Structure 1
Amino acid sequence: MPMPQAGDTAPGFQLPDQDGNSVSLSQHAGKHVVLYFYPKDDTPGCTTEACDFRDEHSALGAAGAVVLGVSADSTERHRKFATKYSLPFPLLADPGHQVLEAYGVWGEKSLYGRKFQGITRATFLIGPDGRVKQAWPKVKVSGHVAEVLAALGAKGAAPAASTPAPAKPAAPAKKPAPAKKATGTRAVKKATPAKQATARKAPAPAKKSATGKTAAKKAGRARR
């Protein structure tokens, strides 16, 4: 059968979960139901998808949605899978493929050139009125749960808002540095011209003339 589309009435069902409890679509009337079909328990893609639904289970519940997983695995395999990864929602066993066929997710598949009968990974968001609100016919695991939350108008757990850091007080204005006195080499250089000027202006001592020396000698002789 073809997959139900948005606006179609969702096919009813009644299947056992991992604990043997009977679960039906009608018992969730008035709520949103996230019905997701997956190929096989405890395989890489299916484990990632289940754990993503587990991690956002509180957000999905807060948006008024119930999560139900469905595959052709037995209730025993479902129980081991749910226990191993602490899955908080029912996993419904459909080994006879009745519900899988009703939702158009059971059929021929191809892998590495080999054809076989199997489950197409798909999700249906069923509204409180029992009609399909949105369908994802070929689910890509990465980011899928975020798409479901967006369709519900909800958001995943957001990180706590960080408190803005207080504004830093303005640094006080720096006082202008006092003018430095000229010291050292510059001062010496400035003073040197003045000293040179003084030396130049000082009169040279009078030299005794040769004539004066001769007269003194003669006077000495006369006295003798």
Structure 2
Amino acid sequence: MQFDPIQSFTRKRLSDVVSDQIKRLISDGALMPGDRLPAERDLATQLGVSRPSLREALIRLEADGYIETSGRGGFTVVDVTAPIISRPLAELLLQNPRTSADILELRQGLESISTVYAAERASAADLAKIRRAFEELKTASLSGDRANLAELDAAFHLAIADSTHNVALAHVMHGIHTLIGEGMRQYHRLIDYDDAKERQLLTQHQAIFDAVMARDAQKARKAAERHLTFVRELYEEEAGKPG
């Protein structure tokens, strides 16, 4: 992450200029939820400001809910859109089995759009992140590690969303991550994923991955739509069975 040196002739307080730059990087999607800010000494050097001015900006950003202290020291970017779907609301929605189908419809729309923009806009670093997420998902699938499939599935799709460089789409995807993640866990619990189905799902994820890496936007969109249609049909089939 590149921070711009603060101009010494600015008429605003240095801490305000620092704060504004970090907020702009968050809104632009250059700093994503969970990203760590550089160590205070390094960040002050990059910005060309004193550590007291930087510290004042960081304290204000933390108070306003943009960053938070991390367990290892320093600061990480907060998911500023998490309140879009509160945990109590997510739990209420997920108590109604019908809403799981609604979540799948939402995923289908968002992820179809995400794959298009990711294919068109992803940087080399974005593609590397998508590759890592896919390889982890693929390894878990081939090894039969079903306990972690839901989380790795979500991580793969979020890596694609982060690569869209559409700040609204990326932040909304992160904001509803709890809801989508719990929905995925429900599908993985509900559906009896035999080896044949697991191979189909991996093949579908591979198709999405290949299309995004090839920067084929329309092929990526169709692959995402096929994948989510398949998952919805699996869910509806299992949900319709007598208990």
| TM-score class, shorter | under 0.3
Give the number of the structure whose residues are more often helix, by fraction. Answer: 2
The structure having more radius of gyration, on CA atoms, is 1
More strand by share: 1
